[in-house]
Amino acid sequence: MKKKIILIALLVAAFSLFARPAHAVQGAEQWARGGFEMSGYLSAGFGWQRFSNQPVTDDQGSSFGGPMGQMIPNAQTGVAPNPGEDFIQAFVQRFELDFIKRINDRARVRADIYYGRANSGSTVAGLTIEHAIAAVRLGQSHNWEIAIGRLGLLTGFESYEYFNDDTISKSILSRASLYPGPITGVMLSGELTENVKLYLTASNTVSGDTTARNSWIPGGVAVLEVDWGPEELGNYFALTAWAGPTTFSNRHLGFGGNVDIGWYFTKRWQLGFEALYDGFRGGGGPSVNYAAALINLHYDINERWTPYVKYAYSNQFEQGAGAFNLTGAKQQIYEASTGLVYRLADSFKVKLEGRIDTTIQPGIRRQLVYGAAMSFDTQF
């Protein structure tokens, strides 16, 4: 008897699947087919890193220097490694899924979601919404658009997606909160000419994306981008300026500017360059000034092999922790990387990186961080 009852239940369930209303099935298919796009990235690898016997002061709270500085144990909890400590480990740097749904030819929504596991060496712990916007194009002319939500900005030579960078690790410019973005706010963007784009943003704050602030006055960011040459080369120049209340004060401002460039000056050589200044005033604390720069040079031997070198420098001129904090210490940080990118396919890269960092602080012997890493980076 029980077997008959189970058989009848299975038949009813199967019939209910086939008997679903046609409009429900068609509606789901139409949603999936009608302008829906999904893509993703995965970066995973292994490496080794050593800290010298001096105190570890290159500390951004959730990352440290070296090729493995964002993936070592306790990086996400901000626990600094001990002087002289070594790390050898495999890591899942980050898994990302990007979703775009085009409502019609003028409206769209987008979400970029990062997934990670701190105990597996991820640069994010758990799940985080990195970008999430609803956007409406205002007109056909010059593609003017207004977007609201969590916005990714174009500031910086290094990409949000690890796949697009030569190196496995990020420089001090990306790891520290020296420039704004992503931010939560509203952005107006459009083309001034065929090759010149303008982005104007009003956001909750320019000193990190947080609602834990004393200011209810929005911050502002402006980006001017110029593109040139064949589209596949991606040559660009971007100028960014920002100003706004900090997380600690209504009255005083954080402000700064950044310039970055990606330029194939021959068919095989690409130069990447970035320089920035940031200033912090307010909150009853000391005034703090920061400067940093980066240069990246790579050579496409052929469609498969690309060796590269990268050098980054930063300077915190005064002691103190401003809203755009570097390390809180008056010190200079030098980072040098060299390595190789091998394209196994258009959407699969094998990366090798060797890196050494030097931190110089008055009254303390310089600290060295060095190591090497290998990663598989995929785009799908």
pLDDT of 142 higher than 90: no
Nearest CA-CA partner of 178 in 301, 327, 75: 327
Residue type, 229: G
**Residue 119 CB partners (closer than 8 Å, separation 6+):** none
pLDDT in tens, 64-113: 889 999 999 888 777 888 899 999 999 999 999 999 999 988 999 999 99
- Tell me how far apart the alpha carbons of residues 355 and 311 are, in angstroms, rounded to a whole number: 10
Percent of the chain with pLDDT over 90: 55
Question: What is the radius of gyration, based on Cα positions, of the chain?
Answer: 24
Q: What Å distances lie between residue 36 and 149, 229, 235, 240, 287, CA to CA? A: 19, 30, 29, 32, 48
Structure tokens of 204?
Answer: 């909750």
Whole-structure pTM value: 0.84
Q: First and final CA of the chain: distance in angstroms?
A: 51
pLDDT at 21: 41
Instruction: Please state the rounded mean pLDDT for residues 148-172.
Output: 90
Residue type, 326: L
Q: What is the DSSP code (8-state) at residue 76?
A: G
pLDDT at 39: 95
pLDDT of 262 higher than 90: yes
Structure tokens of 43?
Answer: 């970066």
Nearest CA-CA partner of 69 in 147, 170, 158, 190: 170
Q: What Å distances lie between residue 77 and 202, 317, 371, 375, CA to CA? A: 31, 27, 22, 23
- The highest-confidence range among 242-246, 284-288, 367-371, by mean pLDDT, is 367-371
Q: Are strands 126-137 and 348-361 parallel, antiparallel or unpaired?
A: unpaired
Structure tokens of 262?
Answer: 């990606």
CA quadruple 75, 289, 244, 272: dihedral sign? negative
Strand partners, 44: 92, 376
* Cβ atoms of residues 169 and 121 within 8 Å: no
Q: pLDDT-derived band of residue 152, with 50, 70 and 90 as boundaries?
A: confident
The helix or strand, by DSSP H or E, that contains position 66, with its residue range, turns out to be none
Q: pLDDT-derived band of residue 280, with 50, 70 and 90 as boundaries?
A: confident
Q: Hey, what long-range contacts does 116-122 have (CB within 8 A, 24 or more apart)?
A: 116/92, 117/92, 118/75, 118/76, 118/77, 120/91, 120/92, 121/68, 121/71, 121/72, 121/73, 121/75, 121/89, 121/90, 121/91, 121/92, 121/93, 122/71, 122/76, 122/91, 122/92, 122/93, 122/94, 122/95
Alpha-carbon torsion angle 57, 63, 69, 70, nearest 10: 180
Structure tokens of 351?
Answer: 């990366």
10-19, 200-209, 316-325: range with lowest mean pLDDT: 10-19
Residue type, 42: L
- Tell me how far apart the alpha carbons of residues 165 and 111 are, in angstroms, rounded to a whole number: 21
